[in-house]
Chain A
Amino acid sequence: METITKRYPSVIKEQAPLRPINSPVDLCMACGTCAAGCPLTGTKGFDPRKIVRLVLMGRDSELIDSKLPWLCTMCGKCEHACPMGINIANLIRAARGMVEREKVPGMIHKGVELGLKTGNNLGLPAEDFVFIIEDVGAELAETPGFSDFKIPVDKKGANLLHTLHNKLVNTQNEDLVHWWKIFHLAQEDWTIPSQNWEGVNWGLFSGDDDAMKTFIGRIVEHMEQLNISSLMYPE
């Protein structure tokens, strides 16, 4: 005996913030634009049109339980041409957010947890961090034209707060200096925080709005403490 098809009230669409025009998934014409434009269509069952259709049928759990949301880069190319303005990327993100945290694949949620606990996704203590950047800074000071270079850490009243992508601190130290050179020559009044210097927000990836807000909140708090007016956030 076949199972009777039933359409259940949709869940995810309520959570996807609306685009400039009020466009819930219901408006989908199944025209195929999104699937035609996505480089991932057909890979391991990924197909944005099918994802929208699942949500339209109210079969959200099938989507949430699959790895499909994690294959998507949420780049938004599909919805760029969607004639009905359906916000597919936000749909994906909402689905990611509904996955039980321990089931979040890869390092994303681990990074979030570390970030929440320590202020950066690597879980690096402040003294280690300061040591690394000061070491790289000292190296730069040996380069001609930068002899008076010094890293301003936690400088009160600076003009610009500089946060860092954790990978530069972790494995790609050589890429730290580019901005520093520019700041130096531009005679910018800048500073790097010794705590909460994390410049990427993996809450965005994991669909974790609360974590995202916490990370942002810490940086803002920091800026207020140090009385800094501008922020440079690499992502």
Chain B
Amino acid sequence: MIKNTKILVVGAGISGIRSALDLAETGHRVCLIDKAPAMGGILSQLDHQFPDNHCGMCRMLPMIDRDNGQQFCLRKGLFHENIEILLSTEIISIEGNAGNLTVTISRRPQGVDPDRCTGCRDCESECNIEISDEFSAGFRKRKAIYLPTPHQIPNQRVIDWDTCSLCGACRDACPTGSIDLDNQPETLVLENIPAVIISTGVELYDPGHVDLYGFGHLPNVVTATAFERILSSSGPYQGRLFRPSDGKALKKIAWIQCVGSRNIMIGADYCSTACCMFAVKEALLASRKIGKDARTAIFYMDMRTFGRDFQRYKDRAEKDAGIRFVRCRVHSIEPAENDKDILISYIDSSGNPIDETFDMAVLSTGKNPEFQLPEFASREGVFTVNSARGFMDIQGAVISASVASEKAGRSVSKKGSALLQQRPEKLYFDAVCEEKPQLQIVLCTCGDFLKPVLDWDRIKAELKNMPGRIEIARIKMICDQNGWDEMIAMLRNTTANRLLLAACNPLVYLPRLKELSQETGIMPSLMEVINLRSMVDQATDLAFRTRAVLCELEMSIRRLFSHNPVEPALYPVSKSALIVGAGPAGLTAAISLAVRDFKVSLVEKTSRLGGNWSNIQSAESRETIRTLVTEVENHPLITIHSEAEVIQSFGNPGRFVTRIRSNNKDEKSLLHGVTILATGGRAAETTAYSYRKNNKITTLFELEERLQQPDFAVGSNATIVFIQCVDSREEPRNYCSRICCLKSLKAAITLREVYPQSQVYIFYRDIMTYGNSEQVYTQARRKGVMFIPYDLENKPRVRIESGRIMVEGSDPVLDEPVFFEADLVALATGIVPNPAADLVSIFNLKTTCDGFIREADSKWRPVDTGREGIFICGVGRSPSRANEAMDEGKAAAQRALRILSKDTMIASRHTARVRHVFCSLCETCMHVCPHGARYMDFELQRVQVDHAACQGCGVCAAGCPNSATIIESFEENGIMGAIEAAL
């Protein structure tokens, strides 16, 4: 049994990684497990993400305390000193009570010792078993010993025990003896687990289960995930768009939406949420790759462009890229006459039947309806990420993962800020700038492998001749424990203040440099690792090999000798937060921080808590908000400043000073470590559809309000008409407000229940009931609500004739006009953000063209802003439902905790430094810095770098006209010296 105080995170996909990093960054120790032999979940297969169509997963990496983890592509792998990763591992059971769980896990051996495997692939060539490769969605074959993902580091093979015949060929072929064919799973019992987070994701629907799509029968019918592999430059056709059956260049591609979703016959009364945008993105990427001959079409029922920026993205795809959107659910897919193309029959907007051939069909498969969470997911002390319940886009998954980490962290802290384990750490190193540079080189001979292939005498001789004090040591194998210990022992006795490790893959060693620096006292920024093995593998001739190695060594030597690090100033963190806006999001964030013992100043513009937004809330959310208000009002650590506004703010993460003005007169300065903006939104106003010209024409929000009133009445035979997307999803307000459809449906259901003889019609463009809210749409239809789709060219019209309200429109299904005399018309006008221009300029942030405050990255860092230490949540950022806004509040609080849980802000190794003597105070650097890590120190009249926020990206150095800015470890001397050595 293992006594262990780590929080267990189950599932190492995007949500699991987010949760694990959240907790690791707030000082918790985490064990991250996944049943797959590699990390990354489904996103390891996807190269391009909406909205910028790049990957961007690395943007989730820690941005403060960066040196505790890795700084490279997250798809390659994850390293953080607080995270232990166990792959090929599954949970068997969870017992015990919340806060003290006993978790039994089973871990299958991977078969290959990662410390010994050199990635040479000899094992693969010997293996005689060949099966379809999951990663490439079956486009390639793989062996029973294989690389689960091509980009992972280390690129160590694993054995697939389910197909391995245990013949031993791979073991005999392995030059380093790293293969062990003992496949017995190991059962581990982990005790004292304080919390478990379930982030296992959902299974995808297998379209081969039904006889409709020809999937498995027609080779040119693929899933959206498989198409992602075709798009990938590491895919089966190196990113060129060929089709599987005959390698023909793709031109005409159809996407089929809702495969396995929105289908009560298979138990899928839900929308899989992410597929619409996924398909638009794929179609857009494909159109760009194909060029002017591209002809792409998406067959859909409702285009669920419910996110803040989705509608414009879809519009661009339609107008600029010419993607055709066809509103028809496809019945089935058939082979075309030539048996290679595929034939899709559909009906166009006028109901005409059309048979069209395509080169390929892509199935937008959603969540598998048979998928269920394990029973232990509902235990107390076990927190399930929402993305493990239903399919989600990346933003939703990332937010819900942070919500789970917030809950888990809160349960562990038990209202105390004490973290599980504060790690003792050497933060300060001897001031090496005072010392003479002295370099220790450690050459790993990789067992006996490198001895005969290099001219060691020459290497030694040449290194001796180089200027500066250099010691050389040879160690047989640094990667195994003996070699490692031998090296540590040697380094403890050295006086060297710089270290050069010449071994193999540097990415394998980088995570261990911190350990090495703690043991030896050498600063991490004065260590380098170079890859000896790859150089040796590339060159064939001994003299040439030796020369290449020497060249590489000299480059590093030059860099290390010329690097002279300065200790950046550290500063203490103010353990308090400023939250602007007391709506659902702000209130939730306030509670999340206060229960962790951090002081909160809550600034609210109006006189009451709950938000302007509480006007547009449904009854049940109002109750939740009321409870939240009471909790906030009674919390001793929360100070409420009502009728107050922010007038000035400056400072850095961990140390902000903000001036607020209350009641238009009293001014006050607050010192706080973090800022959370939850400025909210309000109902949009309209003049469309004769609004206000008759009191029977109301907004949806007003109708909701009126439905609550006891005296509300319409005639029992009333005709009630809802009109969706009023002034929305078209310029200038070209976004979906996300809440209206659900509200209209609920109101319509209520009306049908109270007045069974009533006629309720909803004019809509696309019903936006994503996720399980689809059930409300189904319910509304079951209750007899009639739905009439319209498009922008064909909006319904409302006119008043001698006090009677006439609604005209057309029913595209019957291709007939419809004409109602309405007793009530409800207009779904949507929501707009509260004006935030002042705040945005005070905090130096950005807004979208609609006035929402822009986040750092809509997918990977949705509640961060471009400035570290300032977070956003709720409707001020993006339209959201109340529960979503509250989730964002929790997520923002979790992000804030990364800073609040620290005593000191610690700078990372590679940050910018200003040589003030060259600086002309032109402020170019301040404008170009993408992280808001530069500020003017008016007292000293200097441009300063915030070393905690600085990411060392170098934009400032490139922009500086006087070369006043340098990036630590990338000084001119060192880089030029290295280049010279390379020449």
Contacts and interface: CB of A to CB of B under 8 A. Distances in A.
Interface stretch (B170-178, B537-545, B814-822, B851-859): B814-822
B367 to A, nearest CB: 15
Contacts of B353: 35-36, 41-42
A107 B540 CA distance: 89
A108 B820 CA distance: 41
Given A27-B781, A30-B813, A32-B327, A85 B821 contact: no
A43 to B, nearest CB: 8
A156 interface: no
B264 A21 contact: yes
A53 interface: yes
Nearest to B815: A50
Given A5-B819, A42-B352, A49-B813, A36 B782 contact: no
A81 B346 contact: no
Interface in A49-75: 49-50, 53-54, 56-57
A87 to B, nearest CB: 11
B905 to A, nearest CB: 54
Contact of A50 (B329, B331, B814): B814
A34 interface: yes
B345 interface: yes
| Secondary structure call for the A interface | loop
B260 to A, nearest CB: 10
Nearest to B778: A27
Contacts of B814: 50, 53-54, 57
A26 B784 CA distance: 6
B566 interface: no
A77 B262 CA distance: 19
Given A2-B808, A83-B258, A33 B781 contact: no
A82 interface: yes
Contact of B789 (A5, A30, A33, A56): A30
Contact of B782 (A26, A54, A81, A85): A26
Contacts of B330: 33, 36
A231 B821 CA distance: 59
Given A26-B784, A31-B328, A36-B346, A84 B301 contact: no
B472 interface: no
Contacts of A6: 759
A21 B327 CA distance: 26
Contacts of B328: 31-33, 35-36
B263 interface: yes
Contacts of A28: 781
Contacts of B820: 4-5
A34 B331 contact: yes
Contacts of B345: 36-37
A29 interface: yes
A27 B265 CA distance: 12
Interface in A65-101: 77-78, 80-85
B821 to A, nearest CB: 6
B264 A23 contact: yes
A3 interface: yes
A83 B264 contact: yes
Contacts of A57: 786, 814
A2 B819 contact: yes
Given A5-B819, A29-B301, A82-B265, A50 B813 contact: yes
A150 interface: no
B301 A31 contact: yes
A85 B781 contact: no
B347 interface: yes
A90 to B, nearest CB: 15
A198 interface: no
Given A6-B759, A83-B263, A27 B782 contact: yes
A208 interface: no
Given A26-B781, A42-B352, A81-B332, A36 B819 contact: no
A210 B440 CA distance: 100
A31 B783 CA distance: 18
A30 B759 CA distance: 18
A42 B348 CA distance: 11
Contacts of A29: 262, 301, 781, 787
A31 B330 CA distance: 9
B542 to A, nearest CB: 69
Interface string A1-35: 01111110000000000000101101111111111
A83 B346 CA distance: 16
Contacts of B351: 35, 41-42, 47, 49-50
Contacts of B781: 26-29
A36 B329 contact: yes
A37 B355 CA distance: 11
Contacts of B258: 83
Nearest to A22: B782
B212 interface: yes
Contacts of A21: 264-265
Contacts of A33: 328-331
Contacts of A47: 347, 351
Interface string B768-791: 000000000010011110110100
B329 A83 contact: yes
B890 to A, nearest CB: 35
12 contacts: A2-B817, A7-B786, A23-B264, A24-B782, A27-B781, A29-B301, A33-B329, A33-B330, A50-B814, A81-B212, A81-B332, A84-B264
Interface of A: 2-7, 21, 23-24, 26-37, 41-42, 47, 49-50, 53-54, 56-57, 77-78, 80-85
Given A2-B819, A3-B819, A35-B347, 9 more contacts: A5-B820, A33-B328, A35-B328, A36-B328, A36-B331, A36-B345, A49-B813, A83-B329, A85-B264
Closest 9 CB pairs of A and B: A37-B331, A83-B263, A32-B328, A31-B329, A42-B353, A36-B331, A41-B353, A2-B819, A5-B818
